[in-house]
Amino acid sequence: MTIQRMTAIKMNISDIVNGQWVKKEGFEPSFVVTSSGEEISRTRFLGTVVGKFVAEDGNFASITIDDSTDTIRAKTFKTAKPIDTVEIGDVIDMIGKIREYNAEIYMIPEIVKKIIDPNLELLHRLEINKRSKKPKNQRTGQSIIEEKIEDRDILRKNIISFMSTNDDGVTYGSVIENISAPEKDVESIINDLLAEGICYEPTPGKIKKI
């Protein structure tokens, strides 16, 4: 199955550190559920470096970033890159993966760029404000999460039902072709069913209900 690279969503730091952490297993990425119900595993934000630490052996480094909504740490392991060149006081544009350890939500930085033009900071904030504006009948984050869970349960039942149509099993391609849902959602549920022992792979690329 194809593993797609998750899009880095522009966010305020407060949306990330105050979100609900959801741990996933296997190749499925873990993510933060924000107060608006978004599932974010990669993010992008602008902020000022307010703290920095680099181990003497260079095998660990961290910086603390403040974007005026909250602070978050970005950590690197076995290398100080890509945060080795930034210093306290620098304004940076960071793209990275969200991680959690000991109840701390932090970042694994992938791309870090120093920002000199203040207009880029303003543009970044305007883009976040634009996408975070709620329509008049905006649902709560909790209702969105509950609806997603209900939709996932229905999709799960449909996939199991389709697998039962052939005693010899069905191919991944046929499941994706016949189930009306995004491919990543179908693959996620198939992974769950395999992990739970509800189905198995008799041959590569084929799944069969037990």
pLDDT of residue 63: 96
- If asked whether residues 105 and 41 sit together in one domain, one would say yes
72-102 pLDDT, tens digit per residue, is 999 999 888 899 899 999 999 999 999 999 9
Domain boundary among 132, 154, 179: 132
The pLDDT of residue 1: 38
Backbone angles phi, psi at 184, to 5 degrees: -65, -35
| Kind of pairing between the strands at 42-54 and 91-101 | antiparallel
Domain boundary among 132, 167, 182: 132
- Is residue 1 domain-resident? no
Instruction: Please determine, for residue 49, whether its predicted confidence score (pLDDT) is greater than 90.
Output: yes
Annotate the chain with three-state secondary structure: CCCCCCCCEECCHHHHHCCEEECCCCCCCCEEECCCCCEECEEEEEEEEEEEEECCCCCEEEEEEECCCCEEEEEEECCCCCCCCCCCCCEEEEEEEEEEECCEEEEEEEEEEECCCHHHHHHHHHHHHHHHCCCCCCCCHHHHHHHHHHHHHHHHHHHHHHHCCCCCCEEHHHHHHHCCCCHHHHHHHHHHHHHHCCEECCCCCEEEEC
132, 163, 185 - which closes a domain: 132
> Residue 3 falls within a domain, yes or no?
no
The model's confidence at residue 150, banded by pLDDT at 50, 70 and 90, is low
Q: Are residues 148 and 75 in the same domain?
A: no
pLDDT band at residue 148 using 50, 70 and 90 as cut-offs: low
- Please indicate, yes or no, if residue 169 is contained in any of the structural domains: yes
Pair 118, 156 in one domain: no
Number of neighbouring beta carbons within 10 Å of residue 148: 14
Residues in the chain: 210
Q: Does 26 share its domain with 118?
A: yes
Rounded to whole angstroms, the Cα distance separating 2 from 155 reads 20
**Do 103 and 196 fall into the same domain?**
no
Same domain, 76 and 34: yes
**Mean pLDDT value across residues 39-59:** 91
Q: Domains in the chain: how many in total?
A: 2
* pTM value > 0.75: no
CA distances (Å), origin 34, targets 18, 31, 107, 142, 179: 7, 10, 16, 10, 28
The answer to whether 88 and 13 are in contact (CB under 8 A) is no
Task: State the residue range of the domain holding 68.
Answer: 9-132
165-178 pLDDT, tens per residue?
888 888 888 888 88
Do 183 and 205 lie in a common domain? yes
